[in-house]
Amino acid sequence: MSEPLRVGIAGLGTVGASVIRLLERQAGALAARAGRAIVVTAVSARDRSRERGVDTAGLAWYDDPVALARSEKIDLFVELIGGDEGPARASVEAALTAGKSVVTANKALLAKHGMALARLAESNHVALAFEASVAGGIPIVKTLREGLAGNSIERVYGILNGTCNYMLSRMELEGLSFEACLADAQKLGYAEADPTFDIGGFDTAHKLAILTSLAFGTAVDAEAVHVEGIESITLADLKSADELGYRIKLLGVAQRTAQGIEQRVHPTMVAKSSAIAQVMGVTNAVTIDADAVKELTLVGPGAGGEATASAVVADIADIAKGIRSAPFGLPVASLEAAARIPVQRHEGGYYIRLAVHDRPGAAAAIVTRMAERQISLESIMQRNPPAKRGAASADKPVPVVLITYATSEANIREALEAIVTDGYIAERPQVIRIERE
CB 116 within 8 A of CB 110: no
State how far the Cα of 140 lies from the Cα of 120, in Å rounded to an integer: 23
Residue 249 known to be catalytic: no
Q: What's the one-letter identity of residue 214? A: L
Helical pair 178-187 and 162-174, crossing angle rounded to 10 deg: 130
In whole angstroms, give the CA distance from residue 103 to residue 280.
29
Please choose, from the candidates 313, 310, 292, the residue with its C-alpha nearest in 3D space to the C-alpha of residue 103. Answer: 313
Cβ-in-10-Å burial (0-12, 13-18, 19+) of 326 comes to middle
* Interatomic CA distance for residues 91 and 104, integer angstroms: 11
Task: Kindly give the interhelix angle for 202-216 and 107-123, rounded to the nearest 10 degrees.
Answer: 30
Q: Give CA–CA dist 312/179, Å, rounded.
A: 34
Catalytic residue among 207, 249, 272, 294: 207
SS3 346: coil
Q: Per-residue b/e over 26-40, b at no fewer than 16 CB within 10 Å?
A: beeebbeebebbbbb
Instruction: Output DSSP code: residue 266.
Output: E
Residue 353 contacts residue 237 (beta carbons within 8 Å): yes
Q: Which residues contact 215 (CB under 8 A, 6 or more apart)?
A: 144, 153, 156, 254, 288
Q: Which residues contact 150 (CB under 8 A, 6 or more apart)?
A: 292
Distance CA 435, CA 437 (A): 7
CA angle 272, 157, 185 (to 5 degrees): 70
d(CA 196, CA 180): 16
Catalytic residue numbers, as ranges: 207
